[in-house]
Amino acid sequence: MRRVDGITKTTDNRFLNMYELDMKSDTGKHSRYFVASRAERIEDLKISTRENKADGVIIYSVYCDEETKEEKLVLIRQYRCPIDDDIYEFPAGLVDAGEDFKTAGKRELKEETGLDFMPIDAADMFTKPYFTTIGMTDESCGTVYGYANGTVSKEGQEENEDIEIVLANREEVRRILKEEKVAIMCAYMLMHFLHTPKGHVFDFLME
């Protein structure tokens, strides 16, 4: 079994940094492992704090069409550099310093889509931070659930954001899963939404 024997920070960027881990096995053999993290310092890594504090938030929100009463999921389609292409995701973002992830969820939905977020109560087991891609990063995200209303707008988006706002009904969700690139955390929830009866979209949050 290997354990971390030392950590070296190898980059100094604003939103994401690389850390080199010196791993030591039970036999004394050393190896290297590389980790990307939102942490700005070694002291802030989850290796160091042993706390799973949310770096970001994912917003699972349902928009009810006033005319048809049809339930639609609020999605975004945005350009992502690592694949040089567009991908479907839930609205999401980083948690600011001194901000809890539930507050961040309200802010991020407004900024990215122009919609207002009305959260619903959910047990900690459904909202607490879970790790995203643990093989290469210690990043974790909390999830907030609720309803969205208002008028779609791009006015709150940052200049370097290339985001299309999508209100997807079940038919469109099915098409997206079949034909489009989708982030895995979003894809699993789309599959769930696809087979949830109208009016019961949040029943799974009941313990």
| pLDDT tens, residue by residue, 64-80 | 987 788 999 999 999 99
Q: Where are the beta strands (DSSP E) in 69-162?
A: 71-80, 85-89, 92-94, 116-119, 130-131, 140-149
186, 75 contact by CB (below 8 A): yes
pLDDT(52) > 80 = yes
Q: Average of pLDDT values for 120-140?
A: 96
pTM for the model: 0.93
pLDDT at residue 51 greater than cutoff 90: yes
Q: How high is the pLDDT of residue 68?
A: 81
Is-contact 24 1, C-beta < 8 A? Answer: no
Give the pLDDT score at 162: 81
Q: For 74-128, what is each residue's pLDDT tens digit?
A: 999 999 999 999 999 999 999 998 999 999 999 999 999 999 999 999 999 999 9
